[in-house]
Structure 1
């Protein structure tokens, strides 16, 4: 468990930094063309980590629970859009998530740090 906590934190932190660099490059170099890659560069690994931690028998922090409550509907919305093409009601969830997902990403990186610290 210690190894997973350590690796998870460093992977999440690294990908968050890579996501920020992508945003910067998207704004400066590509004129916003790749800014939305941040959501996938950071979000997909966080979702995988979230699911792995969900099935571990450890105490879940309140930050972890808040993250799950707000981020799972976003991924479900993406799946619905991909499966059934475009659905306006589902799209509203995704539009809202554009604003709050970066804050959730920060919360998740912090939570993985706290989880890592608790495993020492």
Structure 2
């Protein structure tokens, strides 16, 4: 079961990266924001599923979780709190920093998925 999940997960992640790039090309600069969500949401879902499947946690998997989970938590908190600048400054900073490192994290996650799939063969 884990081998099948790893294989499909790898292909799904690559599919969403390609779709994200296509949307970005079609929408221009406005598409970059969509890219983050088109690629990020499936990766978040995959990450959470893998936690519950109790896969072997590699250093890359751990780094991905430490870097990306605070971003999604910050987005949820900003949506709940609203625009009170005193309360939201730290969460806004976390999200802004993620715009710079998230593309690297996308590649890291796909690389980690590939390594997981190869290790299960």
Q: Would you say same fold, with TM above 0.5?
A: yes
1:104 equivalent in structure 2: 105
TM-score by length of 2: 0.91
Which SS does the other structure have where 2:57 is aligned? coil
Structure 1 unaligned segments of length 5 or more: list them.
none
Contact 2:70 2:94 in 1 (8 A): yes
Within 5 Å, give how 1:1-120 maps onto structure 2.
1-27=2-28, 32-86=29-83, 87-120=88-121
Could you say what the CA RMSD is over the residues aligned between the two structures, in angstroms? 1.0
Instruction: Find the residue that maps to 1:55 and give its secondary structure.
Output: helix
Question: Residues 5-52 of structure 1: CA distance to partner in whole angstroms, max 9, x if unpaired?
Answer: 11100000110111122222232xxxx222210010000000000000
Aligned residues: 116
Q: Residue 103 of structure 1 aligns to a residue in which SS?
A: helix
Answer yes or no: is the 8 Å Cα contact 2:25–2:31 preserved in 1: no
TM-score relative to the length of structure 1: 0.92
**Structure that is richer in helix per residue:** 2
